[in-house]
Structure 1
């Protein structure tokens, strides 16, 4: 089964590039099968990772960034392939 984890954060105004760099630097062990990083207006950063796992398996996730980088807690979602 394929499980996708989505991680989305909104940077403090003007800190989008710093948040994007921070997200790209985070290492997940073990590494996912696939990982993509996106950015959007309003200094938002989205990271999606794909895993060969069962829906309820414990999987490594990106941590919360430092408070000075984000305006709110990170949003996280988990999906399974349909």
Structure 2
């Protein structure tokens, strides 16, 4: 089964580039290595990280942590999905 983990955060004013680089570093260091990973950005200094794993839906998988300090404006949002159809 393929499980996708999503991690999304909004940077503090003017710190979008810093949050993006922080997320890139964190995703490269994930233990076990996902089968796929992608880092995206959006307006308002938002950063989204998606990782795909070959694992059971409820498997214990490494996730990106909360950034330290005042890098983000709110708590990180996280979601977990299972693949139901591939293309």
Shorter-chain TM-score tier: over 0.9
Match runs of 1:1-82 below 5 Å: 1-26=1-26, 27-82=29-84
Q: Secondary structure at the match of 2:51?
A: strand
Scaled by the length of structure 2, what TM-score is found? Answer: 0.92
Give the root-mean-square deviation of aligned CA atoms.
Answer: 0.5
TM-score (norm 1): 0.98
Gaps of 5+ in 2: none
> Could you list the runs of 5+ residues in structure 1 that have no partner in the other structure?
none
- Poorly superposed stretches of 4+, deviation over 3 Å: none
Secondary structure of the residue that 1:7 maps to in structure 2?
strand
